[in-house]
Amino acid sequence: MSALLAGDTALVTGAASGIGHAILAALAMEGARVVGTDVDAKRGESVAQELARAGHDVRFVQADLALHDGAHALIGRVAAEVGPVSVFVHSASPPRREADTLFAVDDMTWNRMIDVNLRAGFVLARELSREMIARTIRGRMLFITSLHADSPRNLPHYSAAKAGQTMLMQELARALGPHGIRVNAIAPGAIPGGGFDAKAAGLERLARCTSLRRLGTPAEIAGMAVALLADRFSAYVTGTTVVVDGGIALHNWIEPPET
């Protein structure tokens, strides 16, 4: 049986660490030609080189999606270096601090969170979908959102950005569906790595508040990403958010009872 994404060209944001890194690797192992992007050039180049040495078609392009023209510049470089993209995964998100609550989060932190998650996600999806439609590519897009897209987290900039992403995903799915382009999201639970500091959030406490009694891994999110992006499994799935959280949303995990 052929690889699930053979013949696809994928763009993955936030690819230097955490969930984005895991998705980058999973898409490459399923036969896609993959471009990873991240603000962290050193780690991003290292990730791409490691996968390339293993025989996968992976390259890295540095981009700061918080900059006003960051997303447009990235689109231009990807078009020049690899051509049309058929798979887009938006996993980039600035690191968040548990201390960035309502009266602590400053304007710059708010703007960067919204810009990277929402504005850049919109610009990239809009420009990539224009090319997909022009070339009649049956594209697929995936946003990495959060349980806090619809559940307060006491981190207003993060929750607002992820809520906006969810609605953006649904708007894109509705508009692009007639062109054969599918758009979905994954809402991860407590997944250490990348922007989530499990130690600061209380690793043992979080594990106790998860039905499976453990935290998840980036690879477990990447597995679901492959399933949603592969037409073999999800050709009739669009406009939906798949929760991958080990059952943590079933519990009052933000302020759990003492045990």
Catalytic residue numbers, as ranges: 158
Say if residue 204 is exposed, middle or buried (CB neighbours under 10 Å; 0-12, 13-18, 19+): exposed
Which residue's entry shows tokens 């639970």? 189
Identify any residues that bridge with 182 across adjacent strands, giving them in sequence order: 140
Please, are residues 190 and 199 in contact by the beta-carbon 8 Å criterion?
no
Which pairs with CB-CB distance under 8 Å and at least 24 residues apart come from 68-75?
Answer: 70/120, 71/119, 71/120, 71/123, 71/124, 71/127, 72/123, 72/127, 74/37, 74/124, 75/123, 75/124, 75/127, 75/128
Task: Count CB atoms within 10 A of the CB of residue 129.
Answer: 21
Q: Which amino acid is at 162?
A: K
- Alpha-carbon torsion (35, 177, 119, 201), positive or negative: negative
Give DSSP secondary structure letters for 7-63.
T-EEEEESTTSHHHHHHHHHHHHTT-EEEEEES-HHHHHHHHHHHHHTT--EEEEE-
3-class DSSP state of 141: strand
Q: Which amino acid is at 142?
A: L
Which residue's entry shows tokens 């390339």? 52
